[in-house]
Amino acid sequence: MRRLVAETVLTVDDLVAPLFVADGIAEPRSVPSLPGVVQHTVGSLVAEVERLAGLGVPGVILFGLPRPEDKDAAGTQAYAPGGITQRALAAVRDRVGESVVLMADCCLDEFTSHGHCGIVDPRSGEVDNDATLPLYGEIAVSQARAGADVVAPSGMMDGQVAAIRKALDGAGLTSAAVMAYAAKYASALYGPFRDAAQVSIAGGGDRRAYQQDVRNRRESLVEVLLDVDEGADVVMVKPALTSLDVIADVRAAVDIPVAAYHVSGEYAMVQAAAERGWIDGDAVAVEQITAVKRAGADLVLTYFAGHLAALLADG
């Protein structure tokens, strides 16, 4: 009876796996604050995407990490045709064909020496929103050319979706989709991600000038509706569990797919408590991701994707 009347059913079809691929490493490297997550080589990444495809996971999102010495103020490696993300996309596409949706995080922070998601104006020391937009266009075009089906701008610059859509269309990449990190909070839950992505913000700065204030709910709808207007194909809310109200608001307000990102800190907390035997990690993972779907998300980006796929397959 419970099966018959369940309102929300979590399936493997809802999951997207975030994956890291690093330039200049010979072996995959573990990330201590994200147990089970590694920085891949291009080779190990291809194998992992094949494994996930075998488990039925429909999508992956790639984060490319340049060699530390290749970072610069303009984040050049983010849009270099031979950059790590572009090489990884091509290699994965080559091996798995069309069986997995390939998404690419479209941002600068992994590639800039100062760690911000945009170009920093040397006079003011602040991120220059409008100077950043053409670079996002270049990143998106280079990623779509390399094989990305979906580019996912995560930098929260105003006008980023319109700039990217225009750049993609101008390059003839009209079928590349844009999944916008639309409502993204300046959250302390991204800590382990910054370890995994080797990002630290110069001078101990933060992203509060471009990411949202957790105290604000209605602001998310403003952000989301702007992105829909600018041509987003999917809108994302992030983090997930601290934004269930926002996910529900967004679901009610738009008719395009809604994604939610269960972020690194959310994953790490479950893993840490489970390691100590304080909670049942598998049960909590299923409960949390189901709740994110219940709130209104059509797809969930989660570091649990592969594990959940295996769990769900076992019933």
Q: Which residues are known catalytic residues? A: 184, 238
The β-bridge partners of 72 are 112
Q: How far is the CB of 6 from ligand PBG (least distance, A)?
A: 28
> CA 262 to CA 304: how far, in whole Å?
9
* Binding residue (CB under 6 A) for ligand PBG from 263, 285, 300, 305: 263
> CA 22 to CA 65: how far, in whole Å?
5
* Residue 214-243 contact track with ligand PBG, rule CB under 6 A, x = bound: ------------------------------
> Nearest residue to ligand PBG, using CB?
193
Alpha-carbon separation of residue 215 from 186, 220, 242, 246 (angstroms)? 10, 11, 11, 11
Q: Is residue 264 involved in binding ligand PBG (CB under 6 A)?
A: yes
Q: How far is the CB of 301 from ligand PBG (least distance, A)?
A: 8
Q: How far is the CB of 172 from ligand PBG (least distance, A)?
A: 26
> CA 18 to CA 59: how far, in whole Å?
9
* Binding residue (CB under 6 A) for ligand PBG from 39, 143, 154, 243: 154
Q: How far is the CB of 260 from ligand PBG (least distance, A)?
A: 12
**Cβ-Cβ contacts under 8 Å for 211 (sequence gap 6 or more):** 156, 184, 185, 186, 187
Max CA pair span of the chain:
65
Q: How far is the CB of 189 from ligand PBG (least distance, A)?
A: 6
* Binding residue (CB under 6 A) for ligand PBG from 20, 111, 136, 193: 193
Phi and psi of 301, rounded to 5°?
Answer: -85, 120
> CA 16 to CA 127: how far, in whole Å?
30
> CA 157 to CA 8: how far, in whole Å?
34
* Residue 163-192 contact track with ligand PBG, rule CB under 6 A, x = bound: ---------------------------x--
Q: What share of the chain is helix, strand, coil (3-state, %, to 5)?
A: 45, 20, 35
Residues 95-114 close enough to bind ligand PBG by CB under 6 A: 105, 107, 109
Q: Binding residues for ligand PBG, per CB under 6 A?
A: 105, 107, 109, 117, 154, 190, 193, 207, 263-264
